[in-house]
Amino acid sequence: MRAFTYERPDNVAAAMQAAIQPGASFIAGGTNLLDLMKIDVEQPTHLVDISRLPLREVTETPDGGLRIGALVSNTDLAADQRVRQRYPVLAMALLNGASGQLRNQATTAGNLLQRTRCPYFYDVAMPCNKRQPGSGCSALTGFNRMHAILGASQACIAVHPSDMAVAMAALHAEIELQTPAGLSRKMPIAELHRLPGQNPERDTTLARGELITAVILPPPPAGRQTYRKVRDRASFAFALVSVAAIVDAGGGKIRDARLALGGVAHKPWVPKEAERELAGAPAEAGSYEAAARSALREAQTYTHNEFKVPLAERLLARTLGELATGG
């Protein structure tokens, strides 16, 4: 860990001011950032601790949605009655992430902005374009069992590790931001994380010094919701593949399906084509399987992650079936 300076402002304006200086980084729960600092992957010279900012509330929005403060802990959010009743997919995703202790400390914004778990990213002795642009991607021809099958580039095949973000993508959440200029802006969650392209060092579209202040959930969509995570052990492991799904079905037909896949791409992956195909389709196995196939149609695999394609297809088809038929 490199030496750094530290401050803990108690209001948003002061935090924004503090974050302007070069080398500054926000720190919330610190469960990701500190680990990365200890192993020299992140080297901020100034930490702006935002944990005392008044961003810990979950409040109702006028249209019937929820506004989740950036600092609401993963534990509190998962336990919130409104979340559990109206957005069960989100509560489930949160509880499928990390461990109880980590969730107590982890924040909503920190969870969105956690960095990939590609093992090469974690060892400064190994080439990694995300950590050191231009050094090469060790995973491309190396150990890539956990890696992306959709939307990757030759420069980086890492996946975004968050569970919570996958549920939020299916819920069409919005991200509320403060810019260093003091303006507030919003963007759909789909625009927050980016695909690696030629700049894998950039995980998101956030500009330097921008602060996430809240995540806004639109009113709960009609239909049944679930989050299903497939992993190498029963708990405390990142997703190999996960599915967040909200399916509104009745009378033998699917009215609407909202889907997002985790563990397959550099961002929560929304299979738009599959969603379109499902809208109005008969609620039967053939529809689910066809949708699952089209969700994975563009998949590209590497040495160790071929299994993710059949796995994601099977998981998606089964999840759709369970939600649509009330099974």
Partner 1 sequence: MAQVIGQPIDRIDGRAKVTGTAAYAADNRAERMAFGSIVTATIARGRVAGIDANAARRMPGVLLVMTHENAPKQAPFQAKADDRHARPKPQLADDKVQYFGQPVALVVAETAETARAAASAIVVTYEKADGAFVLESASGAAYNPGKGPTGAPADSKLGDFDKAFAAAAVKIDAIYKTPYQSHAMMEPHASLASWQDGKLTVTSSLQLVESAHKSIADTLKLEPDKVEVISEYVGGGFGGKLPVYGDAILAALAARELNRPVRVALTRQQMFHVTTHRPASIQRVRLGAERDGTLTAITHQSLAQSARADEFAEPIVFSTRSLYAAPNRMTSQRIAALDLPVADSMRAPGEAIGLLAVEQAMDELAVRLDMDPIELRLKNEPKEDPEKKVPFSTRALVPCLTEGAKRFGWDKRNARPGQVRDGNWLVGMGVAAAIRGNFLREAEARVTMESEHHAVVEMDMTDIGTGSYTVFAQIAAELLDLPVENIKVKLGHSSYPDTPGSGGSFGASSCGAALHDACTKLKAKLQKGEGAQGLSATGSVKPGDEYKKYSQYAYGAHFAELGVDQTTGEVRLRRMLGVFAAGRILNAKTAHSQLIGGMIWGVGSALEEETVLDPRMGAFVTQDLVHYHVPVHADVPQVEAVLLDEFDPHANVLGSKGVGELGICGAGAAVANAVYNACGARVRDYPITLDKVLPALTRRQG
Binding interface with ligand FAD (CB under 6 A): 25-33, 35, 50, 70, 74, 97-98, 102, 105-107, 109-111, 113-114, 161-164, 211-212, 238
Q: List the structure tokens of 175.
A: 């991200």
- Rounded CA-CA distance 191/255 in Å is 26
| Closest separation in Å from C-beta 220 to ligand SF4 | 35
Number of alpha carbons in the 13 Å side-chain half-sphere of residue 61: 16
Task: Name which of residues 292 to 321 contact partner 1 (CB under 8 A).
Answer: 307, 310-311, 314-315, 318
CB closer to ligand FAD, 231 vs 253: 231
Determine the residue with CB nearest ligand FAD.
110
- Cα–Cα dist 71/75, whole Å: 11
| Residue from 33, 22, 26 nearest 6 by CA | 26
Report the alpha-carbon distance of residue 194 to residue 199 in Å, rounded. Answer: 10
Minimal distance, residue 263 CB to ligand SF4, in Å: 14
Q: Of ligand SF4, ligand FAD, partner 1, none, which one does residue 121 interact with (CB within 5 to 8 Å by kind)?
A: ligand SF4
98 lies in the site for ligand SF4, by CB under 6 A = no
Q: What are phi and psi of 239, to 5 degrees?
A: -70, 140
Nearer to ligand FAD, 87 or 238 (CB): 238
For tokens 């550099």, what's the residue? Answer: 266
Give the residue with the Cβ less far from partner 1, 198 or 235.
Answer: 235
Among ligand SF4, ligand FAD, partner 1, none, the one that 269 touches (CB under a kind-dependent 5 to 8 A) is: none
Q: How far is the CB of 149 from partner 1 (least distance, A)?
A: 13
According to the binding rule CB under 6 A, does residue 41 interact with ligand SF4? Answer: no
Please count the residues of the chain.
327
Mapped onto helix, strand or coil, the DSSP state of residue 165 is helix
Member of 8, 46, 132, 143 binding partner 1 (CB under 8 A): 143
**Which residue, among 169, 165, 161, 175, has the nearest Cα to 68 in the 3D structure?**
175
Answer for which of 200, 209, 223, 263 binds ligand SF4 (CB under 6 A) is 200
Q: Which of ligand FAD, ligand SF4, partner 1, none sits in contact with 70, Cβ below 5 to 8 A by type?
A: ligand FAD
Longest dimension (CA), the chain: 63
**For ligand SF4, which stretch binds (CB under 6 A), given 91-99, 112-120, 212-220, 312-320?**
112-120
If one asks whether residue 265 binds ligand SF4 (CB under 6 A), the answer comes out as: no
Cα–Cα separations (whole angstroms), residue 234 to 13, 31, 95, 120, 146: 43, 21, 12, 25, 17
SS3 of 236-266: CCCCCEEEEEEEEEECCEEEEEEEEEECCCC
- Asked whether position 6 contacts partner 1 by CB under 8 A, the answer is no
**For 292, what's the count of Cα atoms within 13 Å in the CB-facing half-sphere?**
22
Pick from 45, 208, 222, 236: which binds partner 1 (CB under 8 A)?
Answer: 236
- Amino acid occupying residue 194: R
**By three-state DSSP, how is residue 134 classified?**
coil
Binding of partner 1 by 126 (CB under 8 A):
yes
Contact code string over 129-168 relative to ligand SF4, x by CB under 6 A:
xx------xxx----------------xxx----------
The residue among 49 and 123 lying less far from ligand SF4, judged by its C-beta, is: 123
Shortest distance (Å) from residue 249 CB to ligand FAD: 28
Cα torsion 145, 148, 152, 153 to 10°: value is: -10
234 binds partner 1 (CB under 8 A): yes
CB 18 within 8 A of CB 6: no
Which chain residues interact with ligand SF4 by CB under 6 A? 116, 118, 120-121, 128-130, 137-139, 156-158, 200
